[in-house]
Amino acid sequence: MEELNRLSIDEAQTRVDEWIKTVGVRYYSELTNMAVLTEEVGELARIMARTYGDQSFKKSDLEKNLADEMADILFVLICLANQTGVNLTEAFHKNLEKKTRRDAERHKNNPKLK
């Protein structure tokens, strides 16, 4: 299990691809996976609204697991990346650099964050 704790994004993309090709048979279409991703985000939102927001839990919500829902989102996102040729490691590094340049002073100067 320790190996799973150190899984890189590249390794995750490879593992998902291997899983799809052996267990999942094939990828769903990109559009279907986009719809599935939206559905999974909705399930996470439901748990968040009930756990941290003002909504109360229904009996059917009590079986939901926050970590599992986040993992579902990550899995489908990785599927979409694999299908569209996106290297998520590279994309993440570029995105973090962009945010760092763009927001270098913005958050420090935001009185709402102090």
Task: Identify the domain containing residue 18 by its residue range.
Answer: 2-113
Whether the per-residue pLDDT at 26 is higher than 60: the answer is yes
For the domain that residue 24 is a member of, what is the CATH number? 1.10.287.1080
Q: What is the pLDDT of residues 53-108, one digit of tens each?
A: 998 887 777 778 999 999 999 999 999 999 999 999 999 999 999 999 998 888 88
Phi first, then psi: give them for residue 44, nearest 5 degrees: -65, -45
Number of domains in the chain: 1
Helix (H) or strand (E) holding 68, with range, is: helix 66-84
What pLDDT does residue 35 have? 98
The Cα-based distances of 22 to 16, 17, 50, 106 in angstroms read 10, 9, 36, 47
